[in-house]
Amino acid sequence: MPSCNRKLALNWLKWAKRKRLSPTQTIALLEYVLGIAIERPLIPDVRLDLNMRDVDAQLSFRFDMRGVLQLTTLLGVPNVVVTSSFDRLLGVEAMCVMLRRLRYPTTYYDMAATFGRSREQLCRVFNFMVTFVHAEWKEIIYCNTRIVRHRIGQYAAAIHAKGSPLTSVWAFPDGTKIETCRISATAHGAVGLNLQKRIYSGHKRKHCLHFQGLTTPDGLCIHFFGPLEGSRHDVTLLRVSKLQEFFAANSDIFTGYYIYGDPAYPISKWIISGYRGSNLDAAQQLFNSSMSSVRQGVEWNFGRLKTLWRFITFKMQNKIMLSNVGTVILVAMFFTNCNCCYHGGNQISTYFNLSPPSLKDYLTKA
């Protein structure tokens, strides 16, 4: 670009910023009014190879191509996906776009070399797929009651066989915090509400969102709920999630069984926690120690979530009120469960010696 045009363009950009013009309007005025050509990144003339080797697919999508095709079918993704901006592509390609984006915090520009589509188009496809999966499968993400109904006895037996003194504990609750980009204190004109302070966790010393999970011995996060502000406590998350009310509404499944949480959780009809205090006798200390050793699996599940889908751990991409951060994390945990079922287990299922259900069984709605 000649120096005269460069100077004119810079002055024009400053004027457009003062007038609060959108980027699209600014570029259109530069091109059509001033006649200045705008350089754009080239889009590679390539298409997604659906016959790629399994080892390449595993590294790119966390599933081989057979798994991607099976997942696309079982999730009910349309054969042809059409976004609100009329982007058209095959359903299996849209699934690959979402899995590739979740796998690692890569840029849409880098993804263009694989899919041969513009950054804007890839962004729209990713948002469409995340919204679609969450809307269709949010009940399964919250709690897969059909799986629990058939396997709750196996869960309790597996935990007891691993060293638990109790015979009726079937799952372990806990919370996890996902770090986010620091939001403005009063984003989008929220008067009297310090959003930056509300999502800041003094315990973790970071801005984050809080999620609640319920891990079973077969390696599944059978219940996942969120997000809440990072400043909230695990017990607050338990109350807001209405998990105990859900157990009461499905008492034919959960009566006689309990979930075991750390001492911060209350004791109720559905929840058992460890003994509190410093003056515990030997039996109470032994109980806490035995339950703590089998409860560590819940931490492995959250670690698996963050290992499989590194995108959610990159805080600079987790921009609250600019992107659907909470929905992306919920969908990521859903695909963590799908990955466990498709590959026949994970570290947790191996530890408890209990295989998860098949992918088809897990994705069968009641």
Which residues have C-beta within 8 Å of that of residue 95, sequence separation ≥ 6?
68, 71, 72, 75, 77, 129
Distance from C-alpha of 201 to C-alpha of 229, rounded to nearest angstrom = 8
Which residues have C-beta within 8 Å of that of residue 14, sequence separation ≥ 6?
none
* pLDDT tens profile 235-282: 999 999 999 999 999 999 999 999 999 888 989 999 999 888 888 888
Mean of the pLDDT values across residues 283-293? 88
Question: What percentage of the chain has pLDDT greater than the value 70?
Answer: 93
Domain residue spans in the chain? 3-32, 54-138, 143-362
Distance from C-alpha of 310 to C-alpha of 221, rounded to nearest angstrom = 18
For residues 95 and 16, the model is more confident at 95
**Is the pLDDT assigned to residue 36 strictly greater than 70?**
no
Place of tokens 């299996």: 92
In the predicted model, what is the mean pLDDT of the chain? 90
**Structure confidence at residue 22 as a pLDDT band (50, 70, 90):** confident
**Structure confidence at residue 183 as a pLDDT band (50, 70, 90):** confident
